[in-house]
Amino acid sequence: MNAKKIILFFLIVLFFTVSCKQADEPPGENARLKVVATIFPLYDFARNIGGDKIKVTMLLPPSSDPHHYELKPDDIIRIGKTNVFLFTSFEMEPWARKVIDTVADKKNMLAVETGQGALFLPLPQHHEHHSGNPSGLKENNADHAAKADPHIWLDFDNAQKMIDNITKAFILKDPINSLFYEKNARDYKFRLIDLDKKYREQLSNCKTRTILHAGHWAFAYPAKRYRLQYMAAYNISTDAEPSPQQILALIEKIKDQKLPYIYYEDLAAPRLAATIASETGAGLLKLSNGQDISKKDILNGISFVSLMERNLENLKKGMQCP
């Protein structure tokens, strides 16, 4: 029977996949500090601070959504065996609490909320039927206290705070190498300060000052920091349809300000961006939120700093900065 054969085939595939996953780590890794980071920015920070004294893995597979991530049974075991578990915040990864509670060996594992002490911006409220205002425009002027915007690492001051939290954790767990960690952290922070300076200078004199983003709300932090206007098509949840009036608002804004470029995010096929672009003749530029990384990018050795540099190039181009 057709159906039976298909079921059998998939069961066999499943069996082989599961057994193959039991591949153990090669011996000799026990000397290094074991670190698990949830998303790419944390992973990259950890990599830079820890160097070859740690072994860090990224929990979330590339191209997955951290907010809705479903823990696999493997994951809890893996995190349990680790020394340091890095996550952004309970806002960003609400399931982190579950992990921490479930992990067997709490003595061994240190969970680090890397976003502690960072400056959080609230998420915008959804404006509906504003009479004066073209309704639905989500500008970065949230008036009511709402949930927090999790993309804190895009503010380089916050990033530095996160570096500090990670360094503290490494030192706690591996005091022998504390000087090593501290030096790396210092060096990395300088790179971030330098990056910040470049952003500030190069974005100071642009023709337009609007980041029009046909994607999910993510760039409030750099927008605030560098005094730019930011407009996004969707709010955070990945599966919402953009509201029709919001699409119109974005199109009208582009036409009003004669914006030559519109930004799209990585990974999600830029359908909305393409639609808006075809309607306005605007060009498309990619803007990375630091966390949506494709498998290809990781293989190509992408780093947080290089992503932010790429962003800067595209911001300059899009906003026509000298």
Partner 1 sequence: MDLMEVMRYGFVQRAMIAGVLIAAVSALLGMFLVLRRFSLIGDGLAHTTFGSVAVVLLIGISPLYVTVAALPLVIISSLAIYKLTSSRKINADSAIGIISSLGIAAGVVLASLSGGYNVDLFSYLFGNILTVNNTELILAFIVFVMVLAVVVYFYDDLFALTFDQELACSMGINTGRINILLFLLTAVAAVLAMKVAGIMLVSAMLILPALTALQMSMSFRKTLIAAVGFAVGSVLCGIIIAFMLNLPAGAMIVLLNICFLSAVFVVKKLYVPRR
Residue ranges that bind partner 1, judged by CB under 8 A:
1-3, 6-7, 10, 13-14, 17, 60-65, 69, 72, 128-129, 135-136, 238-248, 251, 267-269, 271-272, 274-276, 278-279, 292, 295
Report, in Å, the least distance between residue 252 CB and partner 1. 10
Contacts of 84 (CB under 8 A, 6+ apart): 33, 34, 35, 36, 46, 109, 110, 112, 169, 170, 173
Closer to partner 1 by Cβ: residue 20 or 176: 20
Interacting residues of 127 by C-beta distance below 8 A, sequence separation 6+: 133, 135, 136, 137, 138
Which CB, 44 or 265, lies closer to partner 1? 265
CB of 23 to partner 1, least distance (A): 15
Q: Tell me the H-state helices in 210-303.
A: 220-225, 244-257, 271-280, 295-299
Q: Please say whether the dihedral angle defined by the alpha carbons of residues 93, 98, 104 and 110, taken in this order, is positive or negative.
A: positive
Instruction: Return the closest-CA partner of residue 192 out of 306, 322, 315.
Output: 306
Smallest separation, CB 1 to partner 1 (Å): 8
Q: How far is the CB of 291 from partner 1 (least distance, A)?
A: 12
Q: Which residues pair with 231 in a beta bridge?
A: 212
16 or 190: CB nearest partner 1: 16
Q: Please state the closest distance from residue 316 (CB atom) to partner 1, in A.
A: 27
- 20 vs 31, beta carbon nearer partner 1: 20
DSSP 290: S
Closer residue to partner 1, CB minimum distance, 11 or 172 = 11
| Residue 268 C-beta: closest distance to partner 1, Å | 5
Cβ 17 to partner 1 shortest distance, Å: 6
Phi, psi for residue 264 in degrees, rounded to 5: -130, 160
Contacts of 284 (CB under 8 A, 6+ apart): 261, 262, 263, 264, 270, 273, 274, 277
Q: What is the CA radius of gyration of the chain?
A: 22
Residue 71 or 321 having the CB closest to partner 1: 71
How many helices and strands, by DSSP H and E, does the chain display? Answer: 11, 8
Is 2 or 30 the residue whose CB approaches partner 1 more closely? Answer: 2
Among residues 91, 138, 131, 83, the alpha carbon closest in space to that of 115 is found at 91
What is the distance between the alpha carbons of residues 79 and 73, in angstroms, rounded to a whole number? Answer: 10
> CB 244 → partner 1: shortest distance, Å?
5
> Which CB, 135 or 208, lies closer to partner 1?
135
